[in-house]
Structure 1
Amino acid sequence: MLPRLRPPRKFRIHWRVYSTKVNEEARRRAFEDPRVRQLDKELEDEFAVIRETYRKPKHPIVLCHGLMGFDKLRLAGDLIPGIEYWRGIEDHLKARGIEVIVSTVPPTSTIERRAEALAEGIRKAGGVGRSVNLVGGIDARYMISKLKPNDFKILSLTTVSTPHHGSSFADYMLDQIEPQFLLRIYGALHRLGFQTGAFSQLTTRHMKEIFNPSIENDPSVSYYSYGAYCHPPPVYSIWHYPHRVIHEREGANDGLVSVESAHWGTYEGTLVGVNHLGIINWVNRIEYGWGQMMGWKRKFNALAFYLEITDKLAERGF
Structure 2
Amino acid sequence: MQSRALRTHDGFLYMLSSPPASQCDRAPPASTAEKLCSTIPRRSKTEIEYKPTDDPRINDLGRAISDDFATIRENYTTPKNPIVLAHGLLGFDELRLGGDLLPGIHYWRGITDAMRANGIEVITASVPAAASIEERAAKLGQDIAEKANGKSVNIIAHSMGGLDARYMISQLRPENVNVVSLTTIATPHRGSSFADFCLNEIGPYYLPRIYKFLDSRGVATGAFNQLTRKYMRMEFNPKTPDAPGVKYFSYGAMHKPGFISWFRQPHAIIQKLEGPNDGLVSVESAKWGTYKGTLVGVSHLDLINWKNRLQWFFLGLAGVESNFNAIAFYLDIADMLAKEGEL
Q: TM-score range by the shorter chain?
A: 0.7 to 0.9
Question: In the aligned structure 2, how far is the partner of 1:218 from the partner of 1:105?
Answer: 22
Question: In the aligned structure 1, how far is the partner of 2:249 from the partner of 2:284?
Answer: 14
Give, as a single letter, the amino acid of the residue that structure 2 aligns with 1:116.
A
> Residue 133 of structure 1 aligns with which residue?
154
Whether 2:313 is the aligned partner of 1:289: answer: yes
How far off is 1:186 after superposition?
1.7
Give, as a single letter, the amino acid of the residue that structure 2 aligns with 1:149.
P
How far off is 1:208 after superposition?
0.7
Match among 236, 239, 253 for residue 228 of structure 1: 253
Summarize the Cα distance change of 1:30–1:97 in structure 2 as closer, same or farther, 3 Å threshold: closer
Summarize the Cα distance change of 1:216–1:291 in structure 2 as closer, same or farther, 3 Å threshold: same
> Residue 22 of structure 1 aligns with which residue?
none
How far off is 1:33 after superposition?
2.5
Give, as a single letter, the amino acid of the residue that structure 2 aligns with 1:132.
V
SS where residue 124 of structure 1 aligns? helix
How far off is 1:121 after superposition?
0.8
Q: Deviations over 1:186-229 (max 9, x none)?
A: 23322442111100001001001110001010111000000000
> Residue 178 of structure 1 aligns with which residue?
203
**What percentage of residue pairs aligned between the two structures are identical?**
52
1:49-60 aligned within 5 A: 49-60=71-82
Gaps of 5+ in 2: 1-48
Whether 2:113 is the aligned partner of 1:61: answer: no
Whether 2:221 is the aligned partner of 1:196: answer: yes
The 8 Å contact of residues 52 and 64 in structure 2, kept in 1 or not, is answered as no
Match among 73, 94, 104 for residue 82 of structure 1: 104
Summarize the Cα distance change of 1:278–1:52 in structure 2 as closer, same or farther, 3 Å threshold: same
TM-score computed with the length of structure 1 as normaliser: 0.88
> Residue 34 of structure 2 aligns with which residue?
none
Question: In the aligned structure 2, how far is the partner of 1:86 from the partner of 1:207?
Answer: 26
> Residue 214 of structure 1 aligns with which residue?
239
How many residue pairs end up in the alignment? 290
Give, as a single letter, the amino acid of the residue that structure 2 aligns with 1:160.
I
How far off is 1:37 after superposition?
4.2
1:1-318 aligned within 5 A: 32-125=54-147, 127-136=148-157, 137-231=162-256, 233-316=257-340, 317-318=342-343
Question: In the aligned structure 1, how far is the partner of 2:185 from the partner of 2:281?
Answer: 10
Question: In the aligned structure 1, how far is the partner of 2:53 from the partner of 2:268?
Answer: 13
How far off is 1:44 after superposition?
0.5
TM-score computed with the length of structure 2 as normaliser: 0.81
How far off is 1:29 after superposition?
11
SS where residue 293 of structure 2 aligns? strand
Q: Deviations over 1:132-160 (max 9, x none)?
A: 00012000000000011231311100000
Q: Deviations over 1:60-93 (max 9, x none)?
A: 0000001110000011221111100000000010
Give, as a single letter, the amino acid of the residue that structure 2 aligns with 1:135.
I
The 8 Å contact of residues 192 and 280 in structure 2, kept in 1 or not, is answered as yes
Please report the RMSD computed on the Cα atoms of aligned residues, expressed in angstroms. 1.7
Give, as a single letter, the amino acid of the residue that structure 2 aligns with 1:221.
V
How far off is 1:94 after superposition?
0.4
The 8 Å contact of residues 128 and 152 in structure 1, kept in 2 or not, is answered as no
